Chain A
Amino acid sequence: MSIRIQAATRETDGPLLQLEDVRTHFQTPRGLVRAVDGVSLTLERGKALGIVGESGSGKTILSRSIMGLLPPRGTIRQGSIRFEGREISGLSRRAMRDVWGREMAMIFQDPMTSLNPLMKIGAQIAEPLRLHLDMSKALAWQTAERLMQDVRIPAPGRRLHQYPHEMSGGMRQRIMIAIAMACGPALLLADEPTTALDVTVQAQILDLLGEQRRDRNMSLLLVTHDLGVVAGHTDDIGVMYGGKLVEMAPTPVLFANMKMPYTEALLQSIPKIADPSHTRLNVIAGRPPDLVNPPKGCRFSPRCPYVQERCIEEEPPLIPTVEDPRHTYACWYPVGSPEYVETKERRRREAEVAA
């Protein structure tokens, strides 16, 4: 049984994952939380898509909606999620079991709590192999050792018999990746996979994910708050705000030509290593919207420095740019539009007067 062969024998027509108007709402005592509110996107085979957003933007709930990992009570789901052409959004947990592991797998932010502390590492990697691929115990453990080699764990033969507490955070995240890879999934969902790790280890894990993706022709959905992480490790980026996609483009296109003022503001608020120290940071005033009572028009309008009357009243649709049909954005007065330029100029003059 070879994992690589299994990955290669998949059908290769059509997009791997298609989301159409996906909505995930939660009933809470405060009211209906519109965590994901109408997201449509397509992920091609072998590609890496980054979903970027701040806390409460809906990025994690989006990835859990795809994976079918939502609390059964009080969750309202709408829209369509097609995986290899098959509708999976209405599937029961039992039916999802056939999808998990073999078709799609997920790794989480916290490698400390994602592993079972009472089970040997080898048993945890072997578990999906035995469950989903009906491997014998001996073969599953043998495969587990090779998977550990693939994710570059030194001395895998010895490590198989260790427990999670005997390993560092970076090692545990490697184990999580090995478990996710075990059944050769076509799609890997990674939710903030490096946020809990140190910066030198983060670089190692991101490189490992990229390498595994290329080797296995696997697609990757990388959810993160860090624009730096997605810049170097994705083909496309979707920016989420208030439960919606507000901009989406191939990675180089997005960074070269941001249309949505939110994307621009997000990038500008990060301290840059190349700037001199004590450089004044651009801030986004206010805070993310309340998803129980989101603003009526554009959800970013209460914080947008370039807001106009229309933005408050009417919600902008996601439309393609003139330059590139793959680049979509949701804004009435995008970066570079006459209204944007005029407002920016006016603010600059106001700031000068104030100074």
Chain B
Amino acid sequence: MAGTGKAHLRDQGDVLLRVEDLVVEFPVGRTGLKVNAVSGISLDVLRGETLGVVGESGCGKSTTGRAIMQLPRPTSGSVIFEGRQLTEMNGDDMREARTRMQMIFQDPISSLNPRRKVRDIVMEPLSIWKRGTAAEQRAKVDALLEEVGIDPLRAAESQPHQFSGGQCQRISIARSLVLDPTLIICDEPVSALDVSVQAQVLNLLEDLKAKYGLTLIFIAHDLAVVKNISDRVAVMYLGKICEVAPSDELYRAPAHHYTHVLLNSIPIPDPTLAVVKTAIEGEPPSPVLPPPGCRFHTRCPAATDVCRSEEPQLRTIRPQHFVACHHPIYGDDSIPVSMGQLSGESMP
């Protein structure tokens, strides 16, 4: 896995965002070494689509989200948003472009200024861009706060610490929507929340997406959460994309060994299902010295010599389903029977 390649990019349809050969590297002190956070990935998102990006810590999923926002600018590669190349934009144009693409972060409490009133936090983008009169701005902010389930009167006089984590995430969402963006990049937006609150926020994101015609990139480590909200899912490992497929298809019939392992590692809240033995040993290698060939070969049950030397490219195995693996679990033909059970069809 761990492939480059662009077989999964689409030419048809209303492509809102197209990322090609994105590379992000960070220097390691003065050692001359570098962290290969993202190593040549390509992605596209259609208008109105939700793309899920899933992977373990250190796989580069957050870095990808930030590199799309040009925070910081990627080492190389192209990011085309609404038909414009972001990587070559100057500062002013980029600032303007960011009003159309917004981000929500993992820790809702620390992403809000603790010393300001909540309503002012949500209004700030409007005042910076001088959108409308003060009264219009206030009306818009209050309507949005109402929409995300925050009492505008309370927001006018309270600071973030007076709200719970779930409420702060709602406030962050309201702030991200205030400039009418088209794209929202959500970086682990629910992983700091309790499960009962997590469900509220996920439902809210779905509602807002439908109402405002938003396009989402949803980055998370929780596979069940990603499946719930996404139309299409990209699985990342050590800075590379392993597999891209429509959400239901990916979970029903994963073709990449890593996707399969990830799905099997999820603890299922049902004791009647036999506990699957640990499907994989070890932990992801360091992104400072990633393994040659397929980056997953050190932990892959199906690895052979070719995996150690040659990097697999993303290729089509079924319509809309792409995998970067020399020995995928199944090829272009039908799925072996045993896979149904492994991939979750037998779950209630």
Partner of B267, one of A232, A255, A279: A232
Most buried by A among B200, B221, B228, B268: B228
Question: Are A273 and B224 interface neighbours, CB within 8 A?
Answer: yes
Least distance between A203 CB and chain B CB atoms (Å):
4
- Binding stretch for chain A, among B74-82, B114-122, B278-286: B278-286
Instruction: Report the Cα distance A198→B195, complex, angstroms.
Output: 18
Q: Is A267 an interface residue (CB 8 A)?
A: yes
Q: Which residues of A, 288-320, contact B by the 8 Å Cβ criterion?
A: 288
Interface magnitude class on chain B: 35 or more
Given contacts A277-B227, A277-B230, contact A55 B269 (CB under 8 A): no
B166 sits at the interface (CB 8 A):
yes
Query: Which of A228, A255, A271 is B227 in contact with, Cβ under 8 Å?
Result: A271
A276 to B203: give the CA distance in the assembly, Å. 15
B265 neighbours in A (Cβ, 8 Å): 199-200, 202-203
Q: Contact at A228–B266, with CB atoms within 8 Å?
A: yes
Query: Which of chain B's residues has its CB closest to A262's CB?
Result: B196
Residue A32 CB within 8 A of the other chain:
no
Residue of B nearest to A251 (CB): B271
Task: List the A residue with the shortest CB-CB distance to B200.
Answer: A283
Chain B 166-200 per-residue mask, 1 if CB under 8 angstroms from chain A, else 0: 10000000000000000000000000001111111
In the complex, are the beta carbons of A287 and B251 less than 8 A apart?
A: no
For residue A227, CB closer than 8 A to chain B, the reply is yes
Cβ–Cβ contact B228 & A287, under 8 A = no
Q: Could you say which residues of chain B place their CB within 8 Å of the CB of A255? A: 269-272
Given contacts A276-B248, A287-B166, A287-B197, contact A226 B206 (CB under 8 A): no
Closest to B225 in A: A271
Is B323 part of the contact surface with A, judged by Cβ < 8 Å?
no
CB of B339 within 8 Å of the partner chain:
no
- A271 x B202 contact (CB < 8 A): yes
Residues on B with beta carbons closer than 8 Å to the beta carbon of A352: none
Rounded to whole Å, the gap between the CB of A338 and the closest CB of chain B is: 26
Would you list which residues of chain B between 233 and 283 have a CB under 8 Å from chain A? Answer: 247-248, 251, 261-273, 275, 277-281, 283
B56:A198 contact, CB within 8 angstroms: yes
**Bound complex: CA A234 to CA B190 (Å):** 26
Q: Are B269 and A228 in contact, with the CB atoms below 8 A?
A: yes
**Cβ A232 vs Cβ B202 within 8 A:** no
List 17 A–B pairs whose Cβ atoms lie within 8 Å, in order of A's numbering. Answer: A54-B196, A55-B194, A199-B56, A199-B222, A202-B265, A207-B278, A226-B195, A228-B266, A228-B269, A231-B267, A232-B267, A233-B275, A267-B269, A276-B248, A281-B203, A283-B199, A283-B203
